[in-house]
């Protein structure tokens, strides 16, 4: 047990009954029911899952948040204060699917991080390069650019998730050397350029499964995993938590 973080990202999957069954299994299981485990569930089920998790050690996260801080005429938006009100302790910001399908970029992501921090939520800020950017050899500058938007912000409750876009949902995992190298780069950049505290944690995400979780989570540079597909399966997620 290395106390590494395991964050589940259900994305847009499941219904009420699925959530209730999965959460019931997880909270009854001491391998999963630990403070290092957190579930990022669809917005509409946050309140219910929060109630199901009450009294357990498992954290609850949203997959996105509005950049708007004060209530107002922002149709469809959900504020950080609302997330905190329905038991969330953290929020994913900047997931590649938000960047890709919703055009989210630097200024809006910075505003979201600020809004989440103001409401007392921890932030899991996701970054990662595309396959083309990696093949062109520019992954460091891509990651640096994505991190730079955090300049001047309080980094004390921020976790970075390195998720190479080409490894998300594809079954294609970064090699251990690639993960080690990218995590070392991110950590150094956060400490030196963003003045993050030494305690900053960097998670890996991208096709983490039971059969590769052990070797990925064993890396010193990896402080945990962000798990998409495999987090929807109790037995698979349990094995990943066991490796953490
Ligand atoms: C993710 O959604 O953040 C993710 C890493 O997905 P998957 O594990 O399915 O690649």
* Residue listed under structure tokens 């960097």: 202
95 classed as catalytic: yes
Domain containing residue 153: 5-243
Q: Please say whether the beta carbons of 121 and 92 come within 8 A.
A: no
Q: Please say whether the beta carbons of 155 and 164 come within 8 A.
A: no
Query: Please, which contacts does 74-81 make with residues 24 or more away whose CB atoms are closer than 8 Å?
Result: 78/43, 79/115, 79/119, 80/115, 80/116, 80/118, 80/119, 80/121, 81/119
Distance 227 CA to ligand 1 centre (A): 5
Residue owning the nearest CA to atom 2 of ligand 1: 228
- Tens digit of pLDDT for each residue in 109-164? 999 999 999 999 999 999 999 999 999 988 999 999 999 999 999 999 999 999 99
- pLDDT given for residue 2 in this prediction: 59
- Ligand 1: which of 208, 212, 213 to mutate, judged by most atoms within 8 Å of the beta carbon? 208
Atom in ligand 1 nearest the alpha carbon of residue 209: 8
Vertex 38, ends 36 and 40: CA angle to 5°?
A: 160
For the domain that residue 146 is a member of, what is the CATH number?
3.20.20.70
- Tens digit of pLDDT for each residue in 78-94? 999 999 999 999 999 99
Instruction: Give me the catalytic one of 36, 104, 129, 163.
Output: 163
**Binding-site residue ranges:** 9-11, 169, 207, 228-229
Confidence of residue 169 (pLDDT cuts 50, 70, 90): confident
Q: Please say whether the beta carbons of 222 and 174 come within 8 A.
A: no
Helix (H) or strand (E) holding 191: helix 176-192
**Number of domains comprising the chain:** 1
Prediction pTM value: 0.96
Distance 236 CA to ligand 1 centre (A): 13
Question: Per DSSP, which regions of 105-228 are E strands?
Answer: 122-127, 158-162, 201-205, 224-227
């Amino acid at each position: 047990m290395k106390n590494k973080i395991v964050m589940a990202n259900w994305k847009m999957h499941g219904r009420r009954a699925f959530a209730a069954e999965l959460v019931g299994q997880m909270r009854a299981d001491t391998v999963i029911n630990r403070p290092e485990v957190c579930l990022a569930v669809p917005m509409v089920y946050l309140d219910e899952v929060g109630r199901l998790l009450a009294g357990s050690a498992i954290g609850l996260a949203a997959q996105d948040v509005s950049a708007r801080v004060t209530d107002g005429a922002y149709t469809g938006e959900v504020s950080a204060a609302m997330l905190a009100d329905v038991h969330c302790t953290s929020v994913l910001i900047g997931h590649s699917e938000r960047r890709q399908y919703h055009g989210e970029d630097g200024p809006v992501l910075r505003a979201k991080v600020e809004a989440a921090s103001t409401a007392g939520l921890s932030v899991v800020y996701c970054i990662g390069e595309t396959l083309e950017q990696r093949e062109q050899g520019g992954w460091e500058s891509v990651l640096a650019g994505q991190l730079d938007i955090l300049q001047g912000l309080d980094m004390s409750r921020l976790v970075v998730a390195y998720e190479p876009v080409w490894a998300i949902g594809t079954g294609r995992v970064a090699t251990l050397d690639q993960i080690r190298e990218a995590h070392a780069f991110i950590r150094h950049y956060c400490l030196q350029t963003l003045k993050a505290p030494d305690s900053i944690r960097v998670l890996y995400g991208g096709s983490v499964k039971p059969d590769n979780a052990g070797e990925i989570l064993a890396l010193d540079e990896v402080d945990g995993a962000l798990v998409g597909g495999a987090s929807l399966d109790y037995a698979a997620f349990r094995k990943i938590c066991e490796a953490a």
